[in-house]
């Protein structure tokens, strides 16, 4: 009888303990959903002191650590669950998010793939799989995940955002425009996407199609320099150099150190034969940094002014410069030396 009572008391104690942990876990999850992270954490820790193996408690603590950006600690909690329950979808999902927080996208993908095998219709995780694959330049795999997510949920704007950006990176311009436009039908507050569609049309040299997007972006943000730059570049593309200058000068009024615009203005003024203004903008760029395209512009000015030695010196400096088209530099260097020889010959034979 004594042994029976002991066993009975033990069973009763275990049941009571399980109930207490379940109640605490439920309370902690409610607090977490309400945004009371510290109270939720304290409640989970109270449950953890009673039972440090309960999967709901361990997942809850992992979720708390993720929100606090303590990703390594979160992974430790999730791993303890997965070791015992390899099928635990909450731990698999959470550990993937934690690895993404650490920018370890391969690991995030590994766990999310296991999760998707158990919950194949979670479009949010499918989208995250697409995002992570894209970050690893695994574009075909990213496309597969995004399109699967789209089959599950056609109304999620982040799927269209992911696909638009993916096709942009893959240089599939028409597809990128298609999915960006679908995103903007759902939510037109993505100004960066509006300007990106403008850029895509500009890439196709369809300037008339690009302009409405840039103007749409400016309607939302009158100081958006990306839209201003795009409009200026469309003006240049249609041969309206004065129009391009007008828009690019608006950028330098807002951002005097915008290198790309300073050099574009130098090029534009040089094209209009306003050498003084061109030189001014190239020099402004060079006061900020040793900018290769500003140097190229100055070299052209030196050639125009018959200062061949100065031009040759610049071209030699540019040879081997990273991302500099060396054949272009060599061509201009050769032409400069030919002009220099021609001048020397004329001087020797008056």
Q: Per-residue pLDDT for 11 more than 90?
A: no
Q: Per-residue pLDDT for 2 more than 60?
A: no
pLDDT of 96-111, one tens digit each? 999 999 999 999 999 9
What is the predicted pLDDT for the residue at 7? 47
Residue 127 and residue 110 share a domain: no
Q: Give the mean pLDDT of 92-98.
A: 98
292/306 Cα distance (integer angstroms):
21
Label residue 4 by pLDDT band (50, 70, 90). Answer: very low
Q: What sign has the CA pseudo-torsion 54, 57, 60, 65? A: negative
**DSSP 8-state secondary structure symbol assigned to residue 137:** T
Q: Dihedral (C-alpha) 268, 273, 279, 282: value to the nearest 10 degrees?
A: 20
Label residue 283 by pLDDT band (50, 70, 90). Answer: very high
What is the predicted pLDDT for the residue at 346? 67
Mean pLDDT of the chain: 92
Label residue 344 by pLDDT band (50, 70, 90). Answer: confident
What is the predicted pLDDT for the residue at 348? 65
Phi, psi of 124 (to 5 degrees): -65, -45
Residue 99 and residue 32 share a domain: yes
Residue 241 in any domain: the answer is no
Residue 24 and residue 98 share a domain: yes
Residue 40 and residue 77 share a domain: yes
Residue 89 and residue 41 share a domain: yes
Q: Per-residue pLDDT for 347 more than 70?
A: no
Please report the DSSP string for 138-174 in residue order: -HHHHHHHHHHHHHH-TT-HHHHHHHHHHHHHTT-HH
What is the predicted pLDDT for the residue at 12? 81
63/53 Cα distance (integer angstroms):
16
Residue 210 in any domain: the answer is no
* Residue where a domain terminates, one of 147, 166, 187: 187
* Residue where a domain terminates, one of 162, 187, 212: 187
Q: Which position has the higher pLDDT, 332 or 233?
A: 233
What is the predicted pLDDT for the residue at 255? 96
15/20 Cα distance (integer angstroms):
9
Cβ neighbors of 63 (< 8 A, separation 6 or more) are 32, 74, 94
pLDDT of 269-278, one tens digit each? 999 999 999 9
Please report the DSSP string for 51-108 in residue order: -TT-HHHHHHHHHHHHHTT-HHHHHHHHHHHHHH-TT-HHHHHHHHHHHHHTT-HHHH
Could you tell me the CA-to-CA distances from 172 to 132, 151, 185 in Å, in that order? 19, 21, 20
Hey, what are 70's tokens?
């303590």
Label residue 13 by pLDDT band (50, 70, 90). Answer: confident
Rg of the chain over all Cα atoms, to the nearest angstrom: 31
* Residue where a domain terminates, one of 160, 187, 214: 187
Could you tell me the CA-to-CA distances from 239 to 115, 234, 250 in Å, in that order? 55, 9, 19
Residue 163 and residue 100 share a domain: no
Residue 50 and residue 83 share a domain: yes
Q: Look at the chain and report how many structural domains it folds into.
A: 2
pLDDT of 286-337, one tens digit each? 999 999 999 999 999 999 999 999 999 999 999 888 878 888 889 988 888 8
Pair 176, 200: CB distance under 8 Å: yes
Please state, for a pLDDT cut of 70, what percent of the chain lies above it: 95
Residue 128 in any domain: the answer is yes
Hey, what are 250's tokens?
């608006």
Residue 129 and residue 100 share a domain: no
What is the predicted pLDDT for the residue at 326? 84
Residue 13 in any domain: the answer is no
> How many residues are present in the chain?
350
What is the predicted pLDDT for the residue at 9? 52
79/240 Cα distance (integer angstroms):
62
pLDDT of 17-27, one tens digit each? 889 999 998 99
What is the predicted pLDDT for the residue at 224? 97
pLDDT of 155-194, one tens digit each? 999 999 999 999 999 999 999 999 999 999 999 999 999 9
Q: Per-residue pLDDT for 6 more than 60?
A: no
Residue 28 and residue 113 share a domain: yes
Range of the domain at 181: 120-187
Q: Give the mean pLDDT of 131-150.
A: 98
Q: Per-residue pLDDT for 1 more than 60?
A: no
Residue 218 in any domain: the answer is no
Q: Give the mean pLDDT of 276-285.
A: 96
CATH classification of the domain holding 60 = 1.25.40.10
Rounded to 10 deg, the angle between the 308-318 and 292-304 helix axes is 160
Q: What sign has the CA pseudo-torsion 140, 145, 146, 150? A: positive
């Amino acid at each position: 009888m004594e042994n029976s009572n002991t066993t009975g008391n033990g069973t009763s104690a275990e049941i009571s303990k399980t109930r207490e942990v379940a109640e605490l876990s439920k309370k902690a999850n409610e607090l977490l959903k309400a945004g009371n992270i510290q109270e939720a954490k304290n409640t989970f820790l109270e449950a953890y002191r009673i039972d440090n193996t309960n999967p709901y408690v361990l997942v809850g603590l992992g979720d708390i650590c993720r929100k606090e950006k303590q990703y390594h600690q979160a992974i430790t909690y999730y791993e303890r669950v997965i070791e015992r329950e390899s099928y635990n979808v909450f731990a698999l999902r959470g550990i993937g998010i934690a690895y993404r927080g650490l920018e370890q996208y391969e690991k995030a993908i590994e766990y999310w793939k296991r999760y998707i095998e158990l919950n194949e219709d979670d479009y949010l995780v499918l989208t995250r799989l697409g995002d992570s694959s894209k970050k690893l330049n695994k574009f075909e795999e990213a496309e597969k995940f995004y399109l699967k997510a789209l089959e599950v949920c056609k109304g999620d704007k982040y799927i269209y955002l992911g696909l638009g950006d993916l096709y942009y990176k893959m240089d599939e311009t028409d597809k990128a425009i298609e999915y960006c436009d679908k995103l903007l039908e759902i939510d037109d507050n993505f100004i960066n996407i509006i300007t990106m569609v403008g850029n895509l049309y500009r890439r196709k040299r369809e300037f008339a199609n690009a302009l409405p997007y840039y103007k749409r972006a400016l309607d939302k943000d009158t100081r958006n320099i990306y839209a201003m730059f795009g409009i200026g570049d469309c003006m240049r593309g249609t041969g309206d150099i004065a129009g391009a200058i007008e828009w690019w000068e608006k950028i330098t009024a807002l951002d005097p150190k915008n290198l790309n615009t300073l050099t574009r203005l130098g090029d534009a003024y040089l094209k209009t034969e306003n050498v003084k203004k061109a030189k001014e903008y190239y020099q402004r760029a060079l006061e900020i940094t040793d900018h290769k395209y500003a140097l190229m512009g100055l070299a052209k000015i030196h050639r125009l002014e018959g200062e061949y030695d100065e031009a040759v010196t610049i071209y030699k400096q540019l040879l081997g410069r990273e991302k500099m088209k060396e054949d272009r530099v060599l061509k201009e260097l050769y032409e400069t030396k030919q002009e220099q020889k021609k001048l020397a010959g004329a001087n020797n034979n008056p």
